[in-house]
Amino acid sequence: MNRSKLAGFAAVLLTWLVSVSALAAVNDGPEHATLPRPTVDLEPQDVVKIVINALSNSDQPYADAGIETTFSFASPANRVNTGPLDRFARMVKGPPYGIMVDHATSEFSEVVLVGAKAYQMVNLTAMDGRSVVFAFRLSKQLDGEFKNMWMTDAVWLVADAAVPQQAF
């Protein structure tokens, strides 16, 4: 191949690579999405709100992205009991947590801080109109990769909307 053909081929290849890169940049696939992650700047109520909002649109920007976000905010101790991600996803989609996925509305109680622990209740209304209340327990991580970050230790069903409205 002579130099001019080689240069022409290189130009075409470069143009193709640039266009493929541009398409990849707008791809909504998991390899290109940026999901919320724990940071030291987030307070407990921020973490709960991020998790609840992610679950309300669980398949955005891709399938189970909300569940992946939720798992990323699970404390290391929580992950030991609920992970890996595929096991966690099955748990979140099943009872009693399934109502959290793609719920219609949410309402948050005040956060109760007790040292390095935080508690918050969330009243969720499902798409079918059912209402349930979940409690979140978070802890500020003391060391390791997530040092000084608030993460979820546990979530449990409190009641089917039996918590007094004053809590919210």
Q: Residue 8: pLDDT above 80?
A: no
Cβ–Cβ < 8 Å for 28, 61: yes
The residue ranking higher by pLDDT, 165 or 86, is 86
Gyration radius (Cα) of the chain, Å: 22
- Phi/psi for 131 (5° steps) reads -120, 135
- pLDDT tens by residue, 65-120: 999 999 999 999 999 999 999 999 999 999 999 999 999 999 999 999 999 999 99
Residue 95, helix vs strand vs coil: coil
Cβ–Cβ < 8 Å for 134, 150: no
What pLDDT is attached to residue 11?
39
- pLDDT tens by residue, 35-67: 999 999 999 999 999 999 999 999 999 999 999
Task: Give the domains, in start order, of the chain with CATH numbers.
Answer: 33-167 (3.10.450.630)
What pLDDT is attached to residue 64?
98
For residue 152, the cross-strand partners are 74, 138
- pLDDT tens by residue, 121-152: 999 999 999 999 999 999 999 999 999 999 99
Residue 119, helix vs strand vs coil: strand
Q: Which run of H or E residues covers position 126?
A: none
The number of residues in the chain equals 168
Q: Residue 28: pLDDT above 90?
A: no
Residue 131, helix vs strand vs coil: strand
